[in-house]
């Protein structure tokens, strides 16, 4: 068996999960689970979501320092449309935290949750984001999630999946369920 390289990815890529279907943040969390199985360290930065009563935060407390999740927004509810202007400040704080985290190189994988929405609605400057992504440390994997990933982001990403909604129970009137949707 090859020796396990515990702390460094040989080749960190840029992944994007976008589209209107369920599974974007969820896939990023699955990736986190798999990665911590190999002793990598994962940091999730939530750009727009602010609800602390979610399964991923509960479990992350038991998995720290392997998985840490950071929120910057006070809003418990964010629907899928255009974020309010009040998100500007918290998105800015999340971005600053990301820059610091990236520079520190403490994590192997950094998940930028809902950053696509933040860029799409111009809460972040797409060219500034791309400049940072292009110059990321080689050993760090970045995962960008959220609807409406801009073309410029897709262009520089290595892996892009569009989660396409075929059917969703919300349209049958079923509300978000604890342990499943959050």
Query: Taking the CA atoms of the chain, what radius of gyration do you get in angstroms?
Result: 16
Minimum Å gap between C-beta 2 and a copy of itself is: 9
How far from 121 is each of 8, 116, 126, CA to CA, in Å?
A: 34, 9, 10
Stretch that binds a copy of itself, among 27-35, 74-82, 89-97, 125-133 (CB under 8 A): 27-35
Stretch that binds a copy of itself, among 25-33, 78-86, 97-105, 132-140 (CB under 8 A): 25-33
- Residues in contact with a copy of itself, counted by CB under 8 A, come to a total of 59
Instruction: Name every residue whose Cβ is closer than 8 Å to that of residue 173 and which is 6 or more positions away in sequence.
Output: none
CA torsion angle for 67, 35, 113, 59 (degrees, to 10)? -40
Return the number of the residue (85 or 166) whose C-beta is nearest a copy of itself: 166
For residues 18 and 145, the answer to whether their CB atoms sit within 8 Å is: yes
Element (H, E) at 110: strand 109-113
Return the number of the residue (52 or 96) whose C-beta is nearest a copy of itself: 52
Q: Which of 13, 93, 130, 132 binds a copy of itself (CB under 8 A)?
A: 13
Element (H, E) at 89: helix 87-104
Does position 108 bind a copy of itself by CB under 8 A?
Answer: yes
Does position 117 bind a copy of itself by CB under 8 A?
Answer: no
Alpha-carbon distance 168 to 182, whole Å?
15
Return the number of the residue (35 or 91) whose C-beta is nearest a copy of itself: 35
Q: Which of 91, 159, 173, 176 binds a copy of itself (CB under 8 A)?
A: 159
Q: Which of 40, 87, 107, 121 binds a copy of itself (CB under 8 A)?
A: 40
Nearest CA to 163 among 25, 10, 12?
Answer: 25
Q: Which of 148, 153, 169, 176 binds a copy of itself (CB under 8 A)?
A: 169
């Amino acid at each position: 068996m090859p020796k396990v390289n515990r702390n460094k990815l040989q080749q960190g890529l840029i992944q994007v999960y976008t589209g209107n279907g369920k599974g974007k943040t969820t896939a990023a969390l699955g990736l986190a689970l798999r990665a911590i199985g190999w002793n990598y360290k994962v940091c999730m930065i939530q750009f727009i979501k602010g609800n602390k009563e979610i399964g991923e935060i509960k479990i992350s407390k038991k998995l720290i320092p392997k998985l840490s999740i950071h929120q910057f927004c006070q809003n418990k509810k964010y629907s899928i449309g255009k974020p309010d202007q009040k998100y500007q400040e918290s998105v800015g704080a999340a971005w600053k935290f990301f820059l610091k985290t990236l520079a520190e190189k403490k994590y192997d994988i950094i998940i930028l949750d809902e950053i696509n929405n933040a860029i799409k609605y111009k809460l972040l400057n797409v060219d500034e984001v791309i400049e940072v992504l292009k110059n990321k440390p080689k050993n760090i994997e970045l995962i960008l999630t959220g609807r409406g990933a801009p073309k410029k982001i897709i262009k520089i990403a290595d892996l892009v999946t569009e989660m396409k909604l075929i059917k969703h129970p919300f349209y049958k009137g079923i509300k978000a369920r604890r342990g499943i949707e959050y």
